[in-house]
Amino acid sequence: MTLADPDNFGLQCQGVSHWFGENKVLFDLNLEVQAGQFVGLVGPSGCGKSTLLRAILGTHPPLKGRILTMQNGRLANADRPGRDRGIVYQKYSLYPFLTALDNVALGLKLDQTTTAFRWLNWTGWAKKRREFRDRAGAFLEKVGLGQAMHLYPSQMSGGMQQRVAIAQALIMEPEIILLDEPFGALDEATREELQEMLLRLYEENAEVKAAGGKPPYTLIIVTHELNEAIRVGDRLVGLSQYWDWKADGHERSPGATVVYDKAVPVFRPDERPEYALFDDIRREIRKYVYNPEVLQQRDKHINVGPTR
């Protein structure tokens, strides 16, 4: 299968560069994500993970290069946020003025009805709203939040909030979901629970794939926790400004780019992660992605990476 196949396409970043004045952030970044992949994105602080994520989201398009996503069945530039890309932030993902149920139903409402319809066709809207709420309710049940449906975000724990935020993004069935440090503010136990929730989605992917369908969930998770990236992802991408740019003929660092891209083992949701197994991967990442002293050729540790 190739990326050109619409049933396989997730995301494509082509030669993406970004800078803020003199401050070079991203340089000639190429990244291809296939449908159904769970990409763990890691890198030292200041390497531009957030810049890349915002570029993919479309709120801050890159100054050079382009980012393609599947929009309404065809490839298009992701130069503005759209319903084909979902996002879960560390905070501010949920609307404080809506209950869990309405937060999840909001996307259906905004996507499938217009303001004119809601304001003018009251009975039609009432019917639609019931339908959206039923769907949102069923979805919340599925992620184990049946009890919390009518709570406002301020009445929920951090873990519940992020669970709802993920449901809110998932119900839109976006082509790709971006998670920006989604569990950064949670305690260890809650974190693991939510990782399991994501792994269950990965299992669902595998089932659909086995039946010959397009895997429904594709995601990029940005995290500073290496273990989390390894456990949740089936692929680990390292973004770093520490690579041998001198050999490429640059006088000053041109910015961060992908220096590490390898498949990582896949775990079942109920599997207790054996963190000791992660040690080899972590050692490699620490050395080639995080260590400013070790400068290697940018594509030396790219096994999965873009088919150039």
**Contact status: 152 vs another protein (CB under 8 A):** yes
- Find the shortest distance in angstroms from Cβ 223 to another protein: 17
Q: 3-state class of 105 per DSSP?
A: helix
Sheet of strand 235-240: strand arrangement: 85-88, 176-180, 219-222, 38-42, 235-240, 257-263, 301-302
CA 162/CA 13 separation, integer angstroms: 27
Query: Are 50 and 224 contacting, i.e. CB atoms less than 8 angstroms apart?
Result: no
Q: Which is nearer to another protein, 132 or 202 (CB)?
A: 132
Pick the stretch among 90-98, 120-128, 192-200, 264-272 that binds another protein (CB under 8 A): 90-98
Q: Which of 61, 62, 107, 254 is the binder for another protein (CB under 8 A)?
A: 107
Q: How many residues does the structure list for the chain?
A: 308
- Find the shortest distance in angstroms from Cβ 166 to another protein: 13
CA 223/CA 229 separation, integer angstroms: 7
Expressed in percent and rounded to 5, the helix, strand and coil fractions of the chain are 35, 25, 40
Query: Are 90 and 180 contacting, i.e. CB atoms less than 8 angstroms apart?
Result: yes
Q: 3-state class of 268 per DSSP?
A: coil
- Find the shortest distance in angstroms from Cβ 149 to another protein: 14
Q: Which is nearer to another protein, 76 or 266 (CB)?
A: 76
- 157 to 176, contacts with another protein by CB under 8 A? 168-169, 172, 174
- Find the shortest distance in angstroms from Cβ 163 to another protein: 16
Number of residues this chain uses to bind another protein (CB under 8 A): 31
**Contact status: 73 vs another protein (CB under 8 A):** no
Binding region for another protein (CB under 8 A): 57-59, 80-83, 85-87, 89, 91-93, 95-98, 106-107, 110-112, 115, 152, 154-155, 168-169, 172, 174
